Amino acid sequence: MDLNHLKTCATIVPSSYVNLAQQSWMSRNHIFQHLLNHKKIPDEGWNECLVETFLSELSQLDSNNLIGKCGAGEREGRIYSDIVARRNYRFSHGVGRSGDVTAVQPKAAGSSIVNQLCSKLVLDFIHQAGGTTAKSCIIVPMATGMTLLLCFLALKSIRPDARYIIWPRVDQKSCFKSMISAGFEPIVIENCLVGDELCTDVDAIQKVIEKVGADSILCIHTTTSCFAPRIPDKLEEIAQICKDKEIPHIVNNAYGVQLSKCMHLLNQASKFGRVDAFVQSCDKNFMVPVGGSVVASSNKDNFLELMASTYAGRASAAPAIDMLITMLQMGRNGLKNLLSERKDNYSYLREEMRKLAEKHGERILETPHNPISIGMSLSSLVDKTADVTELGSMLFTRRITGARVVPLGAKKTIGSFSFQGYGSHCNTYTCPYLTVAAAIGMKREECDILVKKLDKTIICLKKRVSQSGSAEISEEC
């Protein structure tokens, strides 16, 4: 509706009623204008109606939705199912253009604006979350693993002779896969045990560089967010090395946007050393369905441009749409609340887990540098492997999907690589344990339920074990 419509409305109902609405109508226009001008997350989250109106208006700018369009001759832009059309707000052209995932699509002005706006808002999100040195970012409609792979391919175009990626070990399959699927050979740097914490072995990295030569190294691939007892890599020192040796540096910051400590590490590393890009998952930081990731950089665009143009073809707009909706509804205030709630929940859950550990003769692993994940030893279980595994499966059937048990001595082969003690980020950890994370969006009540259910399940397991697992007992618990 425009002002002429409102004027005509005032011929249908008294103009004083329409005038009242006109003030509100101008407020709404102002809200839209402000977003388009400033491209930042609004202070207050938008209501559903505003968000849907905005998307619907943008979607009208795409050629498949133009009134008076001539669709014949086109091979695309037709949506068969009305359900599909509605759930995609009638956006059908995806994002990007054949050679560049961030390029504007001539047939899809609206989709392109969604994508451009979304990346600006994500940048603002990162700033709000503490990543103050970030200069630009792009949304990639692939999850973290594939996006890391794309980073490596992008680097390859400028370092054609590099073969190796230096990688401080973190036992998460996708990030390992990303290197071997891209055709590189990971050089695994085992972690050092300091107290309970598993830390980066910076010396080992330096030795490796000396050994294989900086030119043969595609990049160093570090990790910030991870499960305790592993802690974030020593980003500052590694970034310094990368700067000195002119080796690219890619950081897997999977769920680190929600963690001010990780963002601080990235800031420091970017200021004083070299960080080409840091990659984060959309679902784990922005509370959207799995499917997208964000590549950010503290340099002005160089690596990101390279990366965007490495992407071959267009891509799904779905992650950008989900992200844009979410940030508009969340608002800066909503984001701030989520971040501070998370921090509080972490402290609370840690304390409750500590009490639980004490009750069962266990202890919380001392990992002060890991700001999200809490490890609890499982030393008192009789059979350290079978019982720990059994506990894991009992938790799963009790619908506790967020606690992960790590027995000692698990082996795993990925491609041609074999890992000892897989899951614990080192060949032999000091004890089996379980970990839980205090992630964004979790509620205080959930912490209590988790601890209570963990307690019950451990009691139940111990009963079973002590009574040889008789059926009667297992029924009871």
Q: Which residue of 41, 121, 148, 262 would you call a contact of its own copies, by CB under 8 A?
A: 148
Q: Identify which of 185, 183, 174 has the alpha carbon closest to the alpha carbon of residue 153.
A: 183
Q: Which residue of 196, 247, 351, 441 would you call a contact of its own copies, by CB under 8 A?
A: 441
Q: Which stretch binds its own copies (CB under 8 A): 21-29, 123-131, 240-248, 425-433?
A: 21-29
Q: How far is the CB of 77 from its own copies (least distance, A)?
A: 8
Which of residues 104 and 193 has its CB atom nearest to its own copies in the complex? 104
Site for its own copies in 243-262 (CB under 8 A): 255
Site for its own copies in 94-123 (CB under 8 A): 94-95, 98-99, 104, 106-107, 109-110, 112-113, 116-117
Q: How far is the CB of 110 from its own copies (least distance, A)?
A: 7
What is the token pair recorded at 434?
Answer: 């379980």
**Mask of contacts with its own copies, 203-242, x by CB under 8 A?**
----------------------------------------
474 interacts with its own copies by CB under 8 A: no
Q: How far is the CB of 108 from its own copies (least distance, A)?
A: 8
Site for its own copies in 165-184 (CB under 8 A): 172-175, 177-178, 180-183
Tell me, what amino acid is at 105?
A: Q
455 interacts with its own copies by CB under 8 A: no
| Cβ-Cβ contacts under 8 Å for 128 (sequence gap 6 or more) | 41, 332, 335, 336
Q: How far is the CB of 475 from its own copies (least distance, A)?
A: 15
Chain centroid to Cα 334, Å, comes to 18
Site for its own copies in 259-298 (CB under 8 A): 283-284, 286-292
Compute the half-sphere exposure of residue 150: CA atoms within 13 Å on the CB side of its CA: 28
Q: Which residue of 137, 405, 436, 461 would you call a contact of its own copies, by CB under 8 A?
A: 436
What is the spatial distance between Cα 420 and Cα 246, in angstroms, rounded to a whole number? 32
| Cβ-Cβ contacts under 8 Å for 410 (sequence gap 6 or more) | 421, 422, 423, 424
| Cβ-Cβ contacts under 8 Å for 466 (sequence gap 6 or more) | none
Q: How far is the CB of 252 from its own copies (least distance, A)?
A: 11
Site for its own copies in 305-334 (CB under 8 A): 310-319, 322, 325-326, 329-330
29 interacts with its own copies by CB under 8 A: yes
Q: Is residue 25 within 8 Å of residue 6, measured between CB atoms? A: yes
Cα torsion through 9, 15, 19, 20, rounded to 10: -100
417 interacts with its own copies by CB under 8 A: no
Q: Phi/psi at 219 (nearest 5 deg)? A: -175, 170
Q: Is residue 205 within 8 Å of residue 189, measured between CB atoms? A: yes
Q: How far is the CB of 202 from its own copies (least distance, A)?
A: 26
What is the spatial distance between Cα 102 and Cα 199, in angstroms, rounded to a whole number? 36
Tell me, what amino acid is at 377?
A: S
159 interacts with its own copies by CB under 8 A: no
Run of H or E residues at 251: strand 249-252
92 interacts with its own copies by CB under 8 A: yes
Pairing of strands 277-281, 249-252: parallel
| Cβ-Cβ contacts under 8 Å for 372 (sequence gap 6 or more) | 225, 255, 258, 259, 346, 437, 438, 439
Q: Identify which of 346, 295, 267, 334 has the alpha carbon closest to the alpha carbon of residue 139.
A: 295
350 interacts with its own copies by CB under 8 A: no
Q: Is the peptide bond before 407 cis (omega within 30 degrees of 0)?
A: no
**Residues touching its own copies, count (CB under 8 A):** 151
Q: Which stretch binds its own copies (CB under 8 A): 14-22, 228-236, 245-253, 460-468?
A: 14-22
Q: Is residue 190 within 8 Å of residue 421, measured between CB atoms? A: no
Which of residues 185 and 190 has its CB atom nearest to its own copies in the complex? 185
Q: Identify which of 117, 102, 3, 136 has the alpha carbon closest to the alpha carbon of residue 55.
A: 117
72 interacts with its own copies by CB under 8 A: yes
Sequence-ordered alpha helix ranges (H) in 139-201 = 144-158, 173-181
Q: How far is the CB of 16 from its own copies (least distance, A)?
A: 8
Q: Which stretch binds its own copies (CB under 8 A): 68-76, 193-201, 266-274, 464-472?
A: 68-76
Which of residues 126 and 182 has its CB atom nearest to its own copies in the complex? 182
Which of residues 104 and 204 has its CB atom nearest to its own copies in the complex? 104
Which of residues 239 and 323 has its CB atom nearest to its own copies in the complex? 323
How many residues make up the chain in this entry? 477
Chain centroid to Cα 6, Å, comes to 44
Q: How far is the CB of 123 from its own copies (least distance, A)?
A: 14
31 interacts with its own copies by CB under 8 A: yes
What is the spatial distance between Cα 37 and Cα 30, in angstroms, rounded to a whole number? 10
Q: How far is the CB of 164 from its own copies (least distance, A)?
A: 15
